[in-house]
Amino acid sequence: MHLIRRARIAQRLAVRAIAQRGLAHPATRTLLAAAALAAAAAWEAGHHVTDVHPHANKQPGSAVRPPAR
């Protein structure tokens, strides 16, 4: 499976686990760790954050913004 796809899927699973079980649940923590590892693997392979979150710079309130001038 492609690294970006793996990172997106892992992130979605972790978010669902947080919503269903809460942050302190062991399964949630395991899924969060898996999402972090998948994102790190994609980063190490040369992918950018915008590859994992392609629309992050278009959403209001996004943390990924061009610097203010």
pTM over 0.75: no
pLDDT along the chain (69 residues), means of 10: 85 94 95 93 81 57 51
Output the pLDDT for position 52: 59
Is residue 38 within 8 A of residue 10, CB to CB? The reply is yes
Q: Which residues contact 8 (CB under 8 A, 6 or more apart)?
A: 52
Q: What is the Cα 22 distance to its own chain's centre? A: 17
